[in-house]
Copies of this chain bind each other. A is one copy, B any other.
Amino acid sequence: MQQLAREWQRAGLRIGLVPTMGYLHEGHMALVKVARARADVVVVSLFVNPTQFGPREDLGRYPRDFDGDARRCRDAGVTALFCPDTGGMYGPDYSTWVVEEALSIPLCGRSRPGHFRGVTTVVTKLFNAVCPSVAVFGQKDGQQAAVIQRLVRDLNFPVEIVVVPTVRESDGLAMSSRNVYLSTSERERARSIPEGLRLAEKAFAAGERRSSELARLVTDRIRAAEGRIDYVEIVARRTFARLEAVDEPAMLAVAAFFGNTRLIDNCFLG
């Protein structure tokens, strides 16, 4: 991969990277489209990164479909798939980690200890392997996008980060490889997440600024659909500090379980 990247660089080509864990859906393909528009060659990485899963999480059953992914990428004009194997990425005496210690602390950082350390580490490794000029991430993983932007700024990676708006199903549910886990009933009830976000956006547009009230709209909607809330929080987009009132650009972030499936989503306020 590095040899290929070096050849592309010598030819003056801009490399675009779309890091994924595979099982590609329309959300991923929107990232690919942006990468194609901004780079000369596009690399999609497919790697189910074990270090960003907790010990009781879904690493073992994470959905995979290499043939389908390869076909989608070919059809979308992707130049190369980069599919490293786990042993090559993390040898037996692996010992180096990249940690972000501010934006990665609240929200999913609190619910999933070690998750963002795994993300920042693997993204660093992918950047070094693919040498992209631009890398594209989805806003659905809003905290991840912010953490990666901070990583790039702090460690001076010569990489432009582009964050693409969340792609949604027709009923508003954010596209996610994990949606495949949902039973028919869970899938139906999960639409309460985007419905709750939309209620909060409307209340914000109508002048509500109290975080507690805005969050309550989301929480109530999800609970009415028998979802189990992990968190519903409003944080400053710049610092990810919790806001009592939305008096600066904010993100309303949600994590909730339907059955055993944990879904996340978010919207901007202000």
Residues of A within 8 A of B (CB): 2, 5-6, 9-10, 12, 93-103, 120-121, 124-125, 128-129, 131, 150-151, 154-158, 239
Known interface pairs A9-B10, A10-B10, A12-B10. Does A154 touch B100 (Cβ–Cβ under 8 Å)? no
Query: In the bound complex, do residue A93 and residue B102 qualify as a contact, i.e. CB atoms below 8 Å apart?
Result: yes
Shortest CB distance A115–B (Å): 16
Q: Which residues of B contact A239 (CB under 8 A)?
A: 93
- The distance in angstroms between the C-alpha atoms of A247 and B120, with both chains bound, is 38
12 of the cross-chain contacts (CB-CB < 8 Å) are A6-B9, A95-B100, A96-B99, A96-B101, A96-B151, A96-B154, A97-B101, A99-B99, A124-B155, A125-B155, A128-B157, A131-B158
- The distance in angstroms between the C-alpha atoms of A9 and B2, with both chains bound, is 14
Query: In the bound complex, do residue B96 and residue A98 qualify as a contact, i.e. CB atoms below 8 Å apart?
Result: yes
Q: Which residue of B lies closest to A156 (CB)?
A: B128
Query: In the bound complex, do residue A155 and residue B96 qualify as a contact, i.e. CB atoms below 8 Å apart?
Result: yes
Sorted nearest first, the 10 A-B pairs with minimum C-beta distance are A96-B154, A95-B102, A128-B156, A2-B158, A125-B156, A96-B100, A95-B101, A129-B156, A128-B157, A97-B99
Query: In the bound complex, do residue B158 and residue A128 qualify as a contact, i.e. CB atoms below 8 Å apart?
Result: yes
Point out which of A97, A128, A156, A158 has the most chain B C-beta atoms below 10 A from its C-beta: A156
Query: In the bound complex, do residue B98 and residue A103 qualify as a contact, i.e. CB atoms below 8 Å apart?
Result: no
- The distance in angstroms between the C-alpha atoms of A10 and B133, with both chains bound, is 13
Q: Which residues of B contact A101 (CB under 8 A)?
A: 95-97
Q: Which residues of B contact A9 (CB under 8 A)?
A: 6, 9-10
- The distance in angstroms between the C-alpha atoms of A34 and B216, with both chains bound, is 64
Q: Which residues of B contact A2 (CB under 8 A)?
A: 156, 158
- The distance in angstroms between the C-alpha atoms of A100 and B98, with both chains bound, is 9
Q: Which of B99, B121, B158 is close to A6, meaning CB atoms less than 8 Å apart?
A: B158
Q: Which residue of B lies closest to A125 (CB)?
A: B156
Q: Which residue of B lies closest to A10 (CB)?
A: B12
Query: In the bound complex, do residue A95 and residue B158 qualify as a contact, i.e. CB atoms below 8 Å apart?
Result: no
- The distance in angstroms between the C-alpha atoms of A125 and B96, with both chains bound, is 15
Known interface pairs A155-B125, A156-B128. Does A150 touch B99 (Cβ–Cβ under 8 Å)? no
Q: Which residue of B lies closest to A2 (CB)?
A: B158
Q: Which residues of B contact A5 (CB under 8 A)?
A: 158
- The distance in angstroms between the C-alpha atoms of A120 and B124, with both chains bound, is 13
Q: Which residues of B contact A94 (CB under 8 A)?
A: 154
Q: Which residues of B contact A10 (CB under 8 A)?
A: 9-10, 12
Q: Which residues of B contact A157 (CB under 8 A)?
A: 128
